[in-house]
Amino acid sequence: MGSPLSVDLLVVGWGKAGKTLARRCALDGRSVALVEQDPAMYGGTCINVACVPTKDLIVSAETRRATDDPAEYFAAAVADRDALIGKLNAANYAMLDGLATLIDGRARFTGPKEVTVDTADGDVVVTAQNIVIGTGATPTRPDIPGVDLPGVYDSTTIQHADPFPRRLVVVGGGYVGLEFANMFQHFGSDVTVLDTQDTFLPRAEPVVAETVRDVLTRRGITLRGGTDVRGIRHTADGLSVRLDDGDLRADAVLLAVGRTPATAGLGLDTAGIATDRNGFVRVDEWLRTSVDGVFAVGDINGGPQFTYISLDDYRIVWSQLCGAGGRTTADRIAVPTTTFITPPLSQVGLSPDQARQAGYDVLYAAEPVARIATMPRPKIVGDVEGVITFTVDAATRKVLGSSLFCIDSQELVNLVALAIRTGTTADELLNGIWTHPSSTEALNEVLAALEPYAR
């Protein structure tokens, strides 16, 4: 038997929900232990390998000049990325150091309320009144011959691609694949995106999907739908991606086909913790697992895989442990999303077709950014690409949804999300007094173009 430790709260995994909950509970006077198997992941996926580092690289890529050598510029951008992430990683560790017992090692359940951690100094057995699982998810490795070859990357490893890929094939046409395709095109790669689906961005409104496709293809990215990858092999000049209709040559391949829950070795069966058919931990709307006192937060519970959802998971569990217990996942209304292509694509709420299926009489507007006279900011910054759409309830004129493919959309979408949550009408946004010049001014024009939706 290893060294024993008994605490009020044990958090397994240093993600957004877990680290925030650990810190707040420790400040509240509770005994807390936090386990992380990889010191490079202090702070969680977002700050170390996902949201923050990738957006840092995107900003660097967008500012590359045509005269900058792609390989040299990419290497410098990666160095800047690493310096930033090193600071954030250390800052996250410092936020909990001295407040909680921090354990480096691999955790596995050896009972419903007991976890054994394999550390460099031997096993540590931790028992806790409450346990929070927050081990996240990892990039999926599809069952394709050659996926383990050098030069085949996932969304984490490609951030340090070496050598710089002059020819990049992206397998997967979803939002992650498109972000990296856009990024590497700006860095100077010749990019081809392969997607098994025939329809490009099938969950986006047709006018939005078509506008995104047009922007990316005019920029030089090749988009191929209805395409299955049969295998990857090495050749004398790099990699060859085998398709049904021939082979594609590449210097590197990015696999962007989803994420897999990080449950391997956790011993969930030993604890009696149920998972779904895809391996995600089953939770109810209070994020409770099948074992009393054990919660699952963040990507591991199969919910939307966003850092801000993980933060809301923390609020829900905190409500269970220390509050009134009323907060649930059902409280989430109008959750916005942003895909950081150029310009960013942000979406929230219902599309017009979804709204009509839900029983609404729909008003709809879709305006190309370049034609919005009241929105000069895109012209000022030199990016007039995109389209802005709004879906509105004809009876009440409340905003139901919006797609914003435009500069600053990652900020503007939050205002629209708040409008949906608070029942704000299109007229209030239309007649709002907004700063000038700003992207928000688009509301003064786009919402004036609402018409009955017919499709």
Same domain, 252 and 127: no
C-beta atoms surrounding 362 within 10 Å: 24
CA dist., res. 413 & res. 411, Å (int): 6
Please indicate, yes or no, whether residues 300 and 431 belong to a single structural domain of this protein.
Answer: no
CA gap 181, 198 in Å, rounded:
18
The Cα–Cα gap between 165 and 74 comes to: 10
Look at residue 145 and tell me if it is in a domain: no
74 falls within a domain: yes
Say if residue 122 is in the same domain as residue 19. Answer: yes
CA distance 405 to 417: 15
Sheet strands (E) in 112-263? 114-119, 122-133, 137-139, 152-153, 167-171, 190-194, 222-224, 229-235, 238-243, 246-250, 252-255, 259-261
> pLDDT digit string (tens) for 45-71?
999 999 999 999 999 999 999 999 999
436 is a catalytic site residue: yes
pLDDT band at 452 (very low <50, low <70, confident <90, very high): very high
252 lies in the same domain as 283? no
Half-sphere exposure of 190 (CA within 13 A, CB side): 6
pTM higher than 0.85 = yes
Contact 257, 175 (CB under 8 A): no
User: How many CB atoms are closer than 10 A to CB 66?
Assistant: 5
**Closest to 267 (Cα-Cα) out of 281, 252, 277:** 281
Q: Angle, nearest 10°, between helix axes 16-27 and 307-322?
A: 30
Q: Which region holds residue 127: left if phi is over 0, alpha if psi is between -120 and 50, else beta?
A: beta
Distance CA(319)–CA(331), nearest Å, equals 13
For residues 24-37, average pLDDT: 97
Both 107 and 240 in one domain: the answer is: no
Residues paired with 366 in a beta bridge:
389
Task: Give me the CATH number covering residue 446.
Answer: 3.30.390.30
Structure tokens at 175: 């939002």
Whether residue 381 is contained in a domain is answered as yes
| CA 408 – CA 343 distance, rounded (Å) | 8
Q: What's the pLDDT tens digit per position in 230-240?
A: 999 999 999 99
Q: What is the dihedral of CA 357, 358, 363, 369, to 10 degrees?
A: -80
pLDDT digit string (tens) for 407-438? 999 999 999 999 999 999 999 999 999 999 99
> Measured between alpha carbons, how far is 79 from 160 in angstroms, rounded to an integer?
9
**Residues 156 and 244 grouped into a single domain:** yes
Same domain? For 238 and 268 the reply is no
Residue 24 lies in a domain: yes
Which of 160, 186, 234, 436 is flagged as catalytic?
Answer: 436
Is residue 280 a contact partner of residue 302, using CB atoms and an 8 Å limit? yes
Other residues' Cβ atoms within 10 Å of the Cβ of residue 61: 21
Peptide bond before residue 142 is cis, with ω within 30 degrees of 0: no
Which pairing describes strands 122-133 and 114-119: parallel, antiparallel, or unpaired? antiparallel
Looking at the DSSP assignment, which residues form a beta bridge with residue 419? none
Out of 298, 331, 364, a domain closes at 331
Residues 89-131: tens digit of each pLDDT:
999 999 999 999 999 999 999 999 999 999 999 999 999 999 9
Domain span at residue 218? 152-257
